[in-house]
Amino acid sequence: MIRASLLLAALALATPAIAHAKPRLAHPAQSAHPAKPNDWTRVAGATAAGGFVMGNPAARVKLVEYGSLTCPHCRHFDEVAAAPLSAYVRTGRVSWEFRSFLLSGFDIPATLTAGCNGAATFFPLLHALYAAQPDWVAKMQAIPTDRLEQIRKLPLPEQFAAIGDAAGFPAFAAARGIPAPKLVACLRNQAAADRAVLTTADGQNKYKVRGTPTFMINGVTVDYSAGPSPWAVVDTALKSSLAKVYR
């Protein structure tokens, strides 16, 4: 398995400048928990690709999003699209999978925080992290240089815990029902960090993802470069896909 150390060797832990490109990708792979009949937004599961999926596992329209938790464009998409996307998912005809794409070392503690409590709370934590993104990213970027140098000398799990602590993630999680000690344990979870790195590497190597956010519907990349906004283009593509598969 690709180690998180490879990511941190390539992406500086304190890098404030993050690239956000219009990316391309190609292929969804998912697994989900057993169905509940009325509100499919209550059904969530981890996926084989390293993401989390909300919705009916038998949905004929499958949306996959590669997003970075430090990406402001991803935050804006979540702000605009979370509610209407949930309305699609609720019907059981659309599923929504989120795969974390690491643009910098700062993404690792955020990703570990979002997934700390498993699939059941992943999407609520994802939305909360995006909503608070300007605050915690600023805290990460404000870490003094000498403190960053000290952090870089720590074992990787301790690096993630230290950055997460500077961002205020233990208190953030505690306010949302995850005890701070549990969150700290999640931040020190090397295996979970390695899975996040592997998901990013798969996105880069298999699906040619070069930036965030990236979307695909039923294996076809959604090109929103000429559209009025990413959500407007994704919304139109969802409607088109639904019309084709639910005739």
Q: Count CA within 13 A, CB hemisphere, residue 236.
A: 9
Does residue 97 lie within any of the structural domains? no
Q: What is residue 54's three-state secondary structure?
A: strand
Does residue 131 lie within any of the structural domains? yes
Looking at the chain, the whole-number percentage of residues with pLDDT higher than 90 is 80
Distance CA 145, CA 220 (A): 43
Residue type, 207: Y
What range does the domain containing 153 cover? Answer: 105-212
Mean pLDDT, residues 190-219 = 94
Express each pLDDT in 84-114 by its tens digit: 999 999 999 999 999 999 999 999 999 999 9
CA distances from 17 to 13, 90, 201 (A): 11, 37, 20
In this predicted structure, the answer to whether residue 131 has a pLDDT above a threshold of 70 is yes
Distance CA 240, CA 209 (A): 24
Does residue 154 lie within any of the structural domains? yes
Cα torsion 33, 3, 150, 172 to 10°: value is -10
- CATH code, domain with 195: 1.10.40.110
Does residue 140 lie within any of the structural domains? yes
Q: What pLDDT does residue 143 have? A: 97
Does residue 65 lie within any of the structural domains? no
Distance CA 99, CA 52 (A): 7
Q: How many domains does the chain have?
A: 1
Does residue 196 lie within any of the structural domains? yes
Indicate the average pLDDT of the chain. Answer: 88
Q: What pLDDT does residue 23 have? A: 36
Does residue 29 lie within any of the structural domains? no
Which residue did the predictor score with more confidence, 185 or 8?
185
DSSP 46: E
Whether pTM exceeds 0.95: no
Query: How many Cβ atoms are within 10 Å of 146's Cβ, its own excluded?
Result: 8
- In which band, very low, low, confident or very high, does the pLDDT at 38 lie, cut at 50, 70 and 90? confident
Express each pLDDT in 52-89 by its tens digit: 999 999 999 999 999 999 999 999 999 999 999 999 99
Distance CA 56, CA 60 (A): 9
- In which band, very low, low, confident or very high, does the pLDDT at 37 lie, cut at 50, 70 and 90? low
Mean pLDDT, residues 119-128 = 97
The length of the chain is: 247
Does residue 61 lie within any of the structural domains? no
- 3-state SS of 128-178 is HHHHCHHHHHHHHHCCCHHHHHHHHCCCHHHHHHHHHHHHCHHHHHHCCCC
In this predicted structure, the answer to whether residue 139 has a pLDDT above a threshold of 90 is yes
